[in-house]
Amino acid sequence: MTIVSASSIAAQIAAGAVVGCGAGAAYFGTLHMNARSYARHAIGVAIALQMVRFGALGLVLYGLARLGPAALLAGLGGVVIARHVAVRFSRHAP
């Protein structure tokens, strides 16, 4: 078993939260473009964009998991925060 210092865990949490917020903002920011593609019946573009969105978020979460469990959990928390912000902005959008 490896002993991890408290500063290392704090760095994992900080890195995970920042990266998770950024990835979540990009993921939910492109959701509007994806919905427009579906509405315009550009199904091929919409499916490709959806696959890119899922793949990119998956790669980010995989990278955070490689850093450690604290980074992954903080990253997921960042994604949830980005989702909350996106929902708030969508309520005020025309």
Tell me: the pLDDT tens digits for 1-32? Answer: 455 666 788 889 999 999 999 999 999 999 98
Q: Span 61-85, mean pLDDT?
A: 94
Question: Rounded to whole angstroms, how far apart are CA atoms 17 and 32?
Answer: 23
11 within a domain of the structure (yes/no):
no
List, for residues 21-69, the tens digit of each pLDDT value.
999 999 999 998 898 999 999 999 999 999 999 999 999 999 999 999 9
d(CA 1, CA 62): 22
Give the model's pLDDT for residue 34: 92
Provide the domain limits for residue 35: 17-92
Please list, in sequence order, all residues whose beta carbon lies within 8 angstroms of the beta carbon of residue 69, skipping any fewer than 6 positions away. none
Residue 89 is predicted with a pLDDT of 85
Q: Is residue 39 a part of any domain in this protein?
A: yes
Q: Is residue 71 part of a domain?
A: yes
